[in-house]
């Protein structure tokens, strides 16, 4: 067990996906620029994609020989036709099921379909095929729809997606699962739920957030030999613990508690003491030198719960702290309002979460000294819109939040997004076990501790997100259901010390 833990922390398990994330239009630009530079047409990339899919399927499902390849009307379908032709060369006889007759296709997709037919292959139109009468497949390839999906799927496409999802076989999605908006991560009415996805050229930003996390399954990427031009800036970047852990260097031997920062956390109203305690404990475990809690006076001393946590009365010596956290368990009564109003204008770094954000929504202001960590509901209140509007395009939402309120904004959720006004980072670590009380309080405490130790607001937020998500993934080894926020605390300490 110890070796498994050590390997997970050191990043020996698995590899990190490519960091740049792209919008669909950027991928098309990369393809066109590559074709001009290499002096060839884009059909060469379709041929490479088909070859990559053949190798990928053979590697992950070597025993599967009854392939059903669902092909759509565009270039995604063209990739499927090339795959079918190459598979036939090695002795397989894939069943190609088309959403549109080959004669109605155009461009590279038509060329790929023609070459498949010329090689002796045949095409079955999905509307004319009685699938229940056939031998069930042992591998399904989803080559229906690619990056051009921006409106809800038609009834016929929705039916095909339902058919794919209903087959008792692994599903390989070509480039991205059909029905997924590559830019926003939203399902356009229906979504193929793939076992694995092989993406091409680069990872599309929508694959790692919102509905994308349920659709892609295990994700890999093949560049097909296309390298981004220096002048094309990715839409976002993917961050994870293995990529950032080298920033967590050992402390100087002369370090002392004062040099590791002082943090004041304000919250813990009546009935909500647990929130501020979790934030304080995470702050300690993430390395802050001194941590003081200011909670509702009716609560007992926090030293009775954790001796290393200090207590303080509201309004007394608050300049003592370089970093302040306002919100965990703060409440929306008069006591909570007074604490918020007193500290929101304070000097130094500030982390706002939970009811701190709800108070901010009632009186919007723009500041550059804070980190805001809203979940979609809080984000909707901050922007005066619905949760559905936030989730419809999380990238646009986090950018709007940052422009309106300043500082650094972390929009929590599946595929958390961080915007500092210069770039958007996406952390796709974490798991459904985090859908329980107190997880956000831990995140606030971790970010505050990193701020106190000298990281910039942008880097502290990014580091905090990956430590938080990685700790949850390690804790989830014992099961996601029933995982508690406090289960992450031992892992937080291990993760902020990767080289020790």
pLDDT digits (tens, 9 = 90+) for 439-482: 999 999 999 999 999 999 999 999 999 999 999 999 999 999 99
Q: Which residues contact residue 258 at a Cβ distance below 8 angstroms, ignoring those fewer than 6 apart?
A: 289, 290
Mean pLDDT of 324-352: 95
Q: From the annotation, which residues make up the binding site for (6S)-NADPHX?
A: 75-79, 146-152, 175, 275, 329, 375, 441
Is the pLDDT assigned to residue 259 strictly greater than 90? no
Which pLDDT score, from 0 to 100, does residue 13 have?
A: 36
Please report which confidence band the pLDDT of residue 333 belongs to, taking 50, 70 and 90 as the band edges: very high
Which pLDDT score, from 0 to 100, does residue 190 have?
A: 96
Which pLDDT score, from 0 to 100, does residue 314 have?
A: 66
| Cα gap 195→177, rounded to integer Å | 10
Mean pLDDT of 14-37: 85
Mean pLDDT of 345-350: 92
Q: Which residues contact residue 358 at a Cβ distance below 8 angstroms, ignoring those fewer than 6 apart?
A: 332, 378, 381
The pLDDT tens digits of the residues spanning 97-154 come to 999 999 999 999 999 999 999 999 999 999 998 988 899 999 999 999 999 899 999 9
Q: CA 260: distance to chain centroid?
A: 30
User: Backbone dihedral region of 224: left (phi > 0), alpha (psi from -120 to 50 degrees) or beta?
Assistant: left
The pLDDT tens digits of the residues spanning 370-413 come to 999 999 999 999 999 999 999 999 999 999 999 999 999 999 99
Which pLDDT score, from 0 to 100, does residue 6 have?
A: 31
Which pLDDT score, from 0 to 100, does residue 499 have?
A: 74
Please report which confidence band the pLDDT of residue 318 belongs to, taking 50, 70 and 90 as the band edges: confident
Residue entry with tokens 């402390």: 251
Please report which confidence band the pLDDT of residue 315 belongs to, taking 50, 70 and 90 as the band edges: low
Rg (C-alpha) for the chain, rounded Å, is 26
> What SS3 class is residue 171?
strand
> What SS3 class is residue 158?
helix
Q: From the annotation, which residues make up the binding site?
A: 75-79, 142, 146-152, 175, 178, 275, 329, 375, 412-416, 440-441
Helix (H) or strand (E) holding 352: strand 349-352
Cα 319 to Cα 263, 264, 342, distances in angstroms: 10, 9, 12
Q: From the annotation, which residues make up the binding site for AMP?
A: 412-416, 440
Please report which confidence band the pLDDT of residue 7 belongs to, taking 50, 70 and 90 as the band edges: very low
Compare 4 and 157 and report the one with higher pLDDT: 157
Percent of the chain residues topping a pLDDT of 70:
94
Which pLDDT score, from 0 to 100, does residue 18 have?
A: 59
Is the pLDDT assigned to residue 163 strictly greater than 70? yes
Is the pLDDT assigned to residue 4 strictly greater than 60? no
Please report which confidence band the pLDDT of residue 11 belongs to, taking 50, 70 and 90 as the band edges: very low
| Cα gap 139→141, rounded to integer Å | 7
Q: From the annotation, which residues make up the binding site for K(+)?
A: 76, 142, 178
Sheet bearing 67-71, strands edge to edge: 124-125, 95-98, 67-71, 139-143, 171-174, 196-200, 218-222
The overall average pLDDT reported for the chain is 93
Q: What residue ranges in 131-277 does DSSP mark as E strands? A: 139-143, 171-174, 196-200, 203-204, 218-222, 236-239, 262-266
Please report which confidence band the pLDDT of residue 255 belongs to, taking 50, 70 and 90 as the band edges: confident
Burial (0-12, 13-18, 19+ Cβ within 10 Å), 297: exposed
Which pLDDT score, from 0 to 100, does residue 303 have?
A: 61
């Amino acid at each position: 067990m110890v070796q498994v833990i050590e390997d997970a922390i050191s990043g020996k398990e698995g590899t990190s996906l490519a960091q740049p994330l792209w919008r669909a239009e950027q991928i098309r630009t990369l393809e066109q620029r590559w074709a001009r530079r290499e002096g060839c047409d884009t059909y060469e990339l379709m041929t490479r994609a088909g070859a990559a899919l053949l190798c990928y399927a053979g590697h992950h499902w070597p025993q599967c020989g009854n392939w059903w390849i669902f092909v759509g009307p565009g270039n995604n379908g063209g990739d499927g036709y090339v795959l079918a032709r190459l598979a036939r060369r090695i002795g397989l006889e894939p069943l190609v099921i088309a959403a549109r007759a080959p004669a109605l296709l155009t461009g590279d997709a038509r060329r790929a379909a023609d070459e498949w037919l010329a090689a002796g292959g045949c095409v079955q139109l999905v509307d004319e095929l009685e699938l229940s009468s056939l031998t069930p497949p042992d591998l399904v390839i989803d080559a229906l729809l690619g990056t051009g999906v921006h409106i809800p799927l038609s009834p016929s496409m929705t039916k095909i997606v339902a058919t794919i999802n209903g087959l008792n076989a692994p599903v390989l999605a070509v480039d991205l699962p059909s029905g997924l908006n590559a830019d926003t991560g939203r399902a356009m009415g229906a979504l193929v739920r793939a076992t694995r996805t092989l993406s091409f050229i680069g990872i599309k930003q929508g694959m790692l957030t919102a509905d994308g996390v349920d659709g892609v399954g295990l994700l890999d990427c093949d560049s097909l030999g296309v390298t981004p031009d220096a002048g094309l800036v990715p839409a976002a970047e993917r961050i994870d613990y293995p990529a950032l852990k080298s920033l967590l260097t050992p402390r100087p031997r002369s370090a002392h508690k004062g040099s590791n920062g002082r943090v004041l956390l304000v919250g813990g109203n009546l009935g909500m003491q647990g929130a501020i305690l979790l934030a304080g404990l995470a702050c300690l475990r993430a390395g802050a030198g001194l941590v003081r809690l200011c909670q509702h006076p009716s609560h007992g001393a926090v030293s009775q719960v954790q001796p290393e946590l200090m207590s303080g009365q509201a309004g007394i010596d608050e300049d003592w702290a370089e970093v302040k956290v306002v919100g965990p368990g703060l409440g929306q009564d008069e006591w909570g309002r007074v604490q918020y109003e007193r500290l929101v204008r304070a000097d130094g770094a500030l982390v706002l979460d939970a009811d701190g954000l709800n108070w901010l929504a009632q009186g919007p202001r723009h500041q550059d000294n804070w980190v805001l960590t809203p979940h979609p509901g809080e984000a909707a209140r901050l922007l005066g819109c619905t949760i559905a509007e936030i989730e419809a395009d999380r990238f646009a939402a986090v950018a709007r939040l940052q422009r309106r309120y300043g500082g650094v904004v972390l929009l929590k959720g599946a595929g958390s997004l961080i915007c500092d006004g210069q770039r958007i980072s996406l952390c796709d670590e974490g798991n459904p076990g985090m859908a329980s009380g107190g997880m956000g309080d831990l995140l606030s405490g971790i970010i505050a501790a990193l701020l106190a130790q000298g990281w910039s607001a942008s880097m502290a937020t990014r580091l905090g997100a990956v430590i938080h998500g990685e700790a949850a993934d390690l804790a989830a080894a014992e099961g996601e259901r029933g995982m508690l926020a406090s289960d992450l605390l031992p892992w937080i300490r291990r993760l902020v010390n990767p080289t020790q």
